[in-house]
């Protein structure tokens, strides 16, 4: 019995670590290189923690300590100026080749030795690191998006702080246009036409995404109904019995475990199983607060309403 309890505790810790990694694992048209602030123009912004961040000029040496911010920086055309990233920064492909400065545990000495002009962080998740780096004299910009609109604001803020304000504006316009196109196509959707959706974040223990998450927002924006929308927390454990009882019409897997999921005997009577609507979607498209959330929105919309998004 003790060994079973220990095994369950280890599985839960693994699941929570996966959720934490997801939270952190928190195409661009041409814009003239001169767009935005010039290299010699002073920049002053208020970040998402309410801190005034001042740079004498557009930064030439940037370190990202969150995968989402790495994606934004590269999308803004700043890849060549990124001199360091975390172990979890895996997109775009070029980011993998950048020097590593740690992950959840940052290598502060290395960051300081690399002499960055700017470090870009996630506010709520990295307050301790932000405080420590600031004490060491490093300029840190904190963004802290909690919604898709918040991601667009983060892109705008990073663009302004890096002298890429015009490019950021163009990116936000393009992403907003894609979101509006999805909303427009779903404009006439009736409540009864929204499929019940279960998003499996982890399989053992069974965990899903509740209210206040990007997943919940994306499911709704894509024309679905998250069966965990009324959960008491953002990342709740769900019993298999509850999933069966709520009978999702679509199941989204984010843990690369489709074969295992499809083999569950008790789940065979769920509508999603009977209708062959159990799909895998890469977790980064649903939980990483960067430009690819819009890719996730479009992917879900196509799965939920293929008759509309052909």
Residue 304 has pLDDT above 80, yes or no: yes
pLDDT of residue 92: 97
What gap in Å lies between CA 27 and CA 175, rounded to an integer? Answer: 11
Q: Which two tokens stand for residue 105?
A: 């545990």
114-173 confidence digits (pLDDT tens):
999 999 999 988 999 999 999 999 999 999 999 999 999 999 999 999 999 999 999 999
- The mean per-residue pLDDT over the stretch 36-60 comes to 87
Checking 6-10 for CB contacts under 8 A at 24+ apart, the result is 8/205
pLDDT of residue 60: 97
Mean pLDDT estimate for the chain: 90
Helices (H), the chain: 2-24, 67-75, 108-113, 127-135, 148-161, 165-185, 214-221, 240-246, 258-262, 271-274, 284-287, 293-304
DSSP string, 34-54: T-SS-TTS-EEEE-TTS-EEE
220-257 confidence digits (pLDDT tens):
999 999 999 999 999 999 999 999 999 999 999 999 99
What gap in Å lies between CA 221 and CA 233, rounded to an integer? Answer: 20
Q: Residue 103: is the preceding peptide bond cis (ω within 30°)?
A: no
67-89 confidence digits (pLDDT tens):
999 999 999 999 999 999 999 99
Q: Which range (38-52, 152-166, 259-273, 295-309) has the least confidence?
A: 38-52
Domains delineated in the chain: 29-182 (3.40.50.1980), 188-304 (3.40.50.1980)
């Amino acid at each position: 019995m003790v060994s079973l309890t220990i095994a369950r505790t280890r599985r839960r810790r693994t699941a929570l670590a996966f959720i934490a990694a997801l939270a952190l694992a928190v195409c661009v048209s041409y814009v003239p290189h001169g767009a935005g602030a010039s290299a010699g123009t002073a920049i002053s912004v208020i970040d998402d923690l309410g801190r005034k961040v001042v740079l004498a000029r557009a930064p030439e040496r940037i370190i990202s300590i969150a995968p989402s911010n790495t994606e934004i920086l590269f999308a803004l055309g700043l890849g060549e100026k990124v001199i360091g990233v975390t172990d979890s920064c895996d997109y775009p492909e070029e980011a993998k080749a950048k020097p590593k400065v740690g992950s959840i545990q940052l290598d502060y000495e290395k960051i300081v030795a690399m002499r960055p002009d700017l470090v870009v962080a996630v506010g709520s998740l990295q307050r301790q690191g932000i405080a420590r780096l600031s004490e060491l004299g490093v300029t840190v910009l904190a963004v802290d998006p909690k919604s898709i609109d918040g991601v667009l604001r983060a892109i705008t803020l990073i663009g302004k702080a890096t002298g890429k304000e015009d490019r950021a504006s163009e990116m936000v316009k393009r992403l907003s246009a894609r979101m509006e196109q999805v909303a427009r196509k779903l404009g006439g959707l009736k409540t009864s036409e929204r499929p019940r959706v279960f998003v499996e974040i982890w399989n053992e223990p069974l965990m899903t995404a509740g209210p206040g998450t990007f997943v919940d927002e994306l499911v709704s924006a894509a024309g679905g109904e998250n069966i965990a929308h009324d959960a008491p927390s953002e990342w709740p454990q769900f019993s298999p019995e509850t999933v069966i009882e709520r009978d999702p019409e679509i199941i989204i897997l984010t843990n690369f475990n489709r074969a295992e999921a499809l083999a569950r005997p008790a789940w065979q009577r769920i509508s999603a199983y009977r209708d062959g609507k159990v799909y895998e979607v890469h977790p980064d498209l649903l939980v990483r607060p960067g430009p690819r959330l819009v890719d996730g929105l479009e992917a879900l919309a196509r799965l939920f309403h293929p008759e509309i998004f052909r």
